[in-house]
Amino acid sequence: MLRKFRIDISHGSERNSPHSMLRSLGQKATLLQEAEKALVAQSAFKSLNAFISVPNADILLREVAEHEAAPAKGPLSGKLIAVKDNICTSSLPTTAGSRLLRHFTSPYDATIIEKLRASGAVIAGKTNLDEFGMGSHSTHSHFGPVSQVSASGQITSVGGSSGGSAVAVATGQCHAAVGTDTGGSVRLPAAYNNVVGFKPSYGLVSRWGVIAYANSLDTVGVFGRNLGDTRIMFDALNAFDARDPTSLSEHIRARMRSNVCMENGKDVVSLRVGVPTDYNIDELDTAVKNAWITTLQALQGQGATLVPVELQTTRHALSAYYVLAPAEVSSNLAKYDGVRYGERTSGPDGTSDSVLFAKTRGELGAEAKRRILLGAYSLSAEAKDNYFIQAQKVRKLVQDDFNKAFRKPNPLYPEHRTSNAEGVDVLICPTAPTPPPELERLRDQQPVDAYTNDVFTVPASLAGLPALSMPVGGNKSNGIGIQVIGQFGDDHLVFDVAERIEECT
């Protein structure tokens, strides 16, 4: 089967193949073998619909071979990295899962693509997603749903909206992947697919060249099969970018580095772990609850102190998110009118502009339309005070609740610099209330029911905090993820604590 992907540079001549090139250099073609395996997985798992576009296999393997033959460029040298299809690439189309952008190829690469390439990564392809990132199950894509087959043979949700990236990693179709997380789009798919998914603090990773969904929440996140690979991906992307106005400046990054209360999470004994009691909701599945309890007990067994934490406003966080995110969508997606951006659906000759706009925007999927309408309503003069303004107030209360809970002060608010000895270093909770639902069952759901899957991921998004989802315990195929949430800027502590969890569970 591997032979299928042999590169044929000069019409079948083995002499010029990447393998022979490496043999002549006396090198083992390890990277090439890994890449070939990933390509075999891409063809074996094609029906899961993880990718919207992939590069030509021969060209891709040649790129890997060049990395193998040269001194390593960086930690991702020659590794196949999949990229969510709302991130601009000049070599492959960028559709955002939308019919409106189905023929769009960006004239430039997003900053994070440049960063990946600078670390030696080879782009494995563009992954499927809910249209513009709106969805929790990767079922709202113009290119069809992404799916997975559970251990018991059922076709289940892969989570959303970065479902394609998560599935690509879980099934070995790439080494690691990039996604975006607005309200849980990296963490929910990571949990449902038993891989690691990390959403960094808002503003650490550049969004230049990432198609906007809800700017004040959009964050680029990363997926890996293990914590080590995921951390390497984050480190490769974590840098100031002058082209992104929301990128955290060097000044703030330096303040974050000096904002050290606990040296690092390697010292479990001094670790104070917050248990958000408000997350123990009636709808919590028993298996999820057990995984949460096991994780907490294991950390306690290693000497960590468990601290019950009240995050009362988080019960309103989901409603606030689903007012704020659609409001930003209604503004961001206004430009796809067939004139300024996006595919034009022409009306009969002589039609007015409004008919042209209506026809073009009528091509958006049902979920995108629903959110544009919701957003336009909540921003309207009659509804703004009752919805948009209230939701912004709830967002501030959610942020305050988190700031009160953590031991460290938030480095974004230097005026409140005193640390809180009673506070916690991290919060630990489930990523989602249930394991992945069957896709078939979702068909009967009311559209807004799908939003409830984000109940545990949205609060950290509203506060811009770093959060990681990881599979725990012996059974790493149950679609259950445990989430570690840190204070703003404590991204590395989140990884350190996740490593401790991995060691002790």
Ligand X SMILES: NC(=O)C[C@H](N)C(=O)O
Residues identified as active-site: 84, 161, 185
CB of 431 to ligand X, least distance (A): 12
Tokens of 502: 């991995």
Rounded-to-integer distance, Cα 49 and Cα 118, Å: 28
Question: What character string, x for contact with ligand X (CB under 6 A) and - otherwise, covers 146-175?
Answer: --------------xx--------------
CB of 330 to ligand X, least distance (A): 13
What is the DSSP-derived secondary structure letter of residue 120?
A: T
The two counts, helices (H) then strands (E), for the chain are 16, 13
181 near ligand X, rule: CB under 6 A: yes
Residue 13: asked if its preceding bond is cis (omega within 30°), the reply is: no
| Residue selected from 49, 98, 128, 136 as contacting ligand X according to rule CB under 6 A | 136
With contact defined as beta carbons under 8 Å apart, do 454 and 188 qualify?
A: yes
CB of 149 to ligand X, least distance (A): 22
Q: What is the largest CA-CA distance in the chain?
A: 75
With contact defined as beta carbons under 8 Å apart, do 337 and 360 qualify?
A: yes
Tokens of 503: 């060691």
Complex with ligand X: residue 226 or 392, whichever CB lies closer: 392
| Residue selected from 42, 95, 111, 185 as contacting ligand X according to rule CB under 6 A | 185
Closest to 226 (Cα-Cα) out of 266, 187, 169, 163: 169
Using CB under 6 A as the binding criterion, the count of chain residues that bind ligand X stands at: 13
Question: What character string, x for contact with ligand X (CB under 6 A) and - otherwise, covers 314-333?
Answer: -----------x--------
| Residue selected from 120, 184, 338, 423 as contacting ligand X according to rule CB under 6 A | 184
454 near ligand X, rule: CB under 6 A: yes
Question: Which residue is closest to ligand X by CB?
Answer: 185
CA 4 to chain CA mean position, Å: 32
Question: Which of 130-138, 189-197, 222-230, 335-343 is the region at the interface with ligand X (rule: CB under 6 A)?
Answer: 130-138
183 near ligand X, rule: CB under 6 A: yes
Question: What character string, x for contact with ligand X (CB under 6 A) and - otherwise, covers 48-87?
Answer: ----------------------------------------
Closest to 276 (Cα-Cα) out of 449, 500, 450, 463: 463
| Residue selected from 18, 120, 125, 133 as contacting ligand X according to rule CB under 6 A | 133
- The DSSP element (H or E) to which 405 belongs, if any, is helix 388-405
Listed in sequence order, the DSSP H helices in 302-365 are 317-332, 353-361
DSSP states of 125-172 as a string?
A: EEE--SGGG--SSS---TT----EE-TTS-EE---SSSHHHHHHHHTT
Q: Of 84-113, which residues contact ligand X (CB under 6 A)?
A: none
Q: Which residues are registered as beta bridge partners of 155? A: 149
Complex with ligand X: residue 17 or 431, whichever CB lies closer: 431
Rounded-to-integer distance, Cα 396 and Cα 390, Å: 10
Question: What character string, x for contact with ligand X (CB under 6 A) and - otherwise, covers 280-319?
Answer: ----------------------------------------
CB of 138 to ligand X, least distance (A): 10
| Residue selected from 29, 35, 134, 323 as contacting ligand X according to rule CB under 6 A | 134
Residues that bind ligand X (CB under 6 A): 133-136, 160-161, 181-185, 325, 454
